[in-house]
Chain A
Amino acid sequence: MRLDEIIRILDAVTVTNSLEPGEEIEWACATDLMSDVLYYSRGNSVLITGLAKQQAIRTSDIADIRVVVFTRGKEPDTQTIELARMKNITLLITPYSMYTACGKLYEEGLRCCPE
């Protein structure tokens, strides 16, 4: 799914971005637990999480995840935003809950990382 489609479907605000709007994101992963991001995710995925903290960015960087979505309109602190910028991670904020965000992306054809 194209990055600009993800942004549109989630009514998301773009906090940091270094990707092209047409960038293809292959998979999705939804969790608040960072070890599970590391265990199940693939590179080139979007991570949907309620953990609006530096840890989510750090983990995504380690796992080669390029797009992170914080749910429920949670505003990260400046260190988190700065880390995302430094690590070239696209950081989005959606007003939707994790459930609704998953539902809307799934409905439009995005799928989770295969094991």
Chain B
Amino acid sequence: MKLKEIVEILSLKPLVPSAGLEREVSGGYVGDLLSDVMANAGEGNIWITLQTHVNIVAVAVFKNLSAIVTVNGRMPDADTMEKAAEENIPILLTGKSAFETAGKLYQILNAKGIQD
């Protein structure tokens, strides 16, 4: 399923204009401990987190994640945005909680047979 469709359905706000939304999404991952995400997130996953500091971009690049969703309206730091633009990583903002965002994403992806 395309990231673009998910952004529309969940009304996520793309914060990195240069990062395209045409990529494929393989599943979701929720986590705020970078070591956990490094160890366990899957390639192409959308990563749902409260973390906003610059290291999240490095994790997304390393794990080849499709996007980062920052929840509870948590705006990423300026250096995070800069790095994301440089690395071409979409960061999507939502005012909703991690629980609700994950819950809805799970339903959307499940309906498409994506169960990661």
User: Footprint of B on A, CB under 8 Å?
Assistant: 28-33, 36, 40, 48, 50-51, 72, 97-100, 102-107, 111-113
Smallest CB-CB separation from B46: which chain A residue? A99
Chain B residues at the A interface, C-beta cutoff of 8 Å: 27-33, 36, 40, 48, 50-51, 72, 97-100, 102-107, 110
Q: Which of A98, A99, A102, A112 contacts B27 (CB 8 A)?
A: A99
* Additional A-B contact list (10), CB under 8 Å, known A106-B102, A112-B100, A113-B97: A31-B98, A50-B32, A98-B30, A99-B29, A103-B103, A104-B106, A105-B99, A106-B100, A107-B103, A111-B100
Q: How far is the CB of B13 from chain A (nearest CB, A)?
A: 18
Task: Say which residue of A29, A32, A103, A107 sits within 8 Å of B31 (CB atoms).
Answer: A32
- A106 B30 Cβ-Cβ under 8 A: no
Is there contact, CB below 8 Å, between B31 and A102?
A: no
Check A102–B72 contact: CB distance below 8 A.
no
Of the candidates B31, B51, B107, the one whose C-beta lies within 8 Å of that of A98 is B31
Q: Could you write out 20 A-B pairs with CB less than 8 Å apart? A: A31-B50, A31-B98, A33-B50, A33-B51, A36-B32, A48-B99, A50-B32, A50-B33, A50-B36, A72-B40, A97-B30, A97-B40, A98-B30, A99-B48, A102-B103, A103-B110, A106-B102, A106-B104, A106-B106, A107-B106
> How many Å from the CB of B68 to the closest CB on chain A?
14
- Are B106 and A100 interface neighbours, CB within 8 A? yes
Contacts of A103 in B (CB 8 A): 28, 102-103, 105-107, 110
Q: Which residues of B contact A105 (CB under 8 A)?
A: 99, 103
Closest to B28 in A: A99
The 5 closest A-B pairs by CB, nearest first: A106-B103, A103-B106, A102-B102, A32-B32, A98-B30
Which residues of chain B come closer than 8 Å to A107, judged between CB atoms? 103, 106-107, 110
Given the known inter-chain contacts A36-B50, A99-B106, A104-B106, please indicate yes or no for A30 contacting B99, CB distance below 8 A.
Answer: yes
Q: Which residue of A lies closest to B95 (CB)?
A: A115
